[in-house]
Amino acid sequence: MTKIKLHNKYFKSYISAEKIKIAIDNMASLVEKECKNEVPIFIGILNGSFMFAADFVRAYKGNCEISFVKLASYHGTSSTGDVKQLVGLNENLEGRTVIILEDIIDTGTTLEEIYNIFRHQNLKQLKIATLFFKPDVFRKALHIDYVGISIPDKFIIGYGLDYNGLGRNLADIYQLTTHKMTNIVLFGPPGAGKGTQAEVLKDKYNLKHISTGDVFRYNIKNETDLGKLAKSYMDKGDLVPDEVTINMLKAEVEKNADANGFIFDGFPRTESQAKALDKYLEEKGESISGMVALEVPEDLLVARLLKRGETSGRPDDQDESKIRNRFNEYETKTSILKDYYANQNKYFGVDGVGSIEEITERLSTVFDKL
């Protein structure tokens, strides 16, 4: 599951169980090197650290002890939240190295209370290990010895962390999602002007325009690994595999992770590509909002492209038979994609004949709904 609902809020995948394991293994290895001549006692702070503590001691190869405590608030017989005490600490810690295992440290208020509580225990040393750390909101002049993963100040659940009691049992970490991206597949036959419209609409709706052609040219020009791989197929006259293309698009999306959404221009072109795009977005807790296709009569576009060919220098704009072959390929693939998105109630055809302003207005009517 990549997107979940707990109580009244939605959460999307953020940190995988695999990445968590790598972070814990690295922390455990470092602690082991620093404590190789002694037997430390690890103390997990309940409730959140129970998963972290269990996996940490499994990763720790040296001799050790472990205990769990819980912070509780007491004032006489009533809980006030003003005074913190440890519940469950029965071990004699005098002269011992104590390593606190915390699930997450943000402002440092709880950490400060832990330091105060252990200050009079006559320890050999007190060390702090936290799986997650939010440096942006940490406000205390206190030392943290071991950090697994530093994260922004976002609300997270999973792997012991909860939202009103739920979510602790999740293996991955999920992040609260506060907005839904608007992701549009903009389609149109050659010469329909979708590139021009994409430039207008991206500014109007604050979306990121991703042109497959531009992405290919960038990767090939800059000789990225994906660009070299794509060029190796193109040099042989072979089609670039879908996997290479989708990986290029993934890289573009990841570079703009905070975007309000994307206009995908020139991709997908086949049903298999559409399914690959859906799968990728689903992993991010997102989806395609709609496919918007500019509809223009073929004869009008042929005349438009032949006119463009007089100045563009593009040989494929100067031969009517080649132009009509491009339309035939477009119609074949578009009809398949039309059915694919129509079955999800996500296909929107828009009249692409008229001035740029008129077409933009028609497209905007659809975008507003999405």
Choosing from 96, 194, 202, 284, which is the catalytic residue?
194
Q: Which of 326, 338, 346, 362 is catalytic?
A: 326
Residues 6+ apart with CB under 8 A from 213: 266
- Annotation marks residue 96 as catalytic: no
Instruction: Tell me if residue 314 is catalytic.
Output: yes
Q: How far apart are the first and last CA of the chain?
A: 25
185 is in an annotated binding site: no
Q: Are 186 and 198 contacting, i.e. CB atoms less than 8 angstroms apart?
A: yes
Q: Is 216 a known ligand-binding residue? A: no
* 127, 202, 269, 284: the active-site residue: 269
Q: Is 352 annotated as a binding residue?
A: no
- Exactly one of 3, 12, 168, 308 is catalytic; name it: 308
Residue 304 assigned to a binding site: no
Distance of alpha carbon 289 from alpha carbon 201, whole angstroms: 15
| Residue 194 designated active-site | yes
Question: Please, what is the Cα angle at 314 between 310 and 318, to 5 degrees?
Answer: 55
- 238 appears as a binding residue in the annotation: yes
Is 54 known to sit in a ligand binding site? no
268 is in an annotated binding site: yes
CA distances, 24 to each of 17, 169, 288, 331 (Å): 11, 18, 36, 53
Q: Is 314 annotated as a binding residue?
A: yes
Backbone angles phi, psi at 155, to 5 degrees: -75, 125
Question: Which residue carries 């576009």 as its tokens?
Answer: 301
**Which residue is catalytic, options 36, 61, 279, 314?**
314
| Residue 191 is labelled as binding a ligand | yes
363 in a known ligand binding site? no
* 134 included as an active-site residue: no
Helix or strand holding residue 201 (H, E): helix 194-204
Does 308 show up as a binding residue in the annotation? yes
Q: Catalytic site residue 326? A: yes
Q: Give the separation between CA 159 and CA 84, rounded to whole angstroms.
A: 25
- Interatomic CA distance for residues 174 and 151, integer angstroms: 12
Q: Are 57 and 42 in contact (CB under 8 A)?
A: yes
| Residue 40 among known ligand-binding residues | no
217 annotated ligand-binding residue? yes
Residue 362 assigned to a binding site: no
Binding-site positions for AMP read 212, 217, 238-240, 266-269, 273, 314, 326
Active-site annotation, residues: 194, 269, 308, 314, 326
Binding-site positions for ATP read 191-196, 308, 354
Binding-site positions read 191-196, 212, 217, 238-240, 266-269, 273, 308, 314, 326, 354
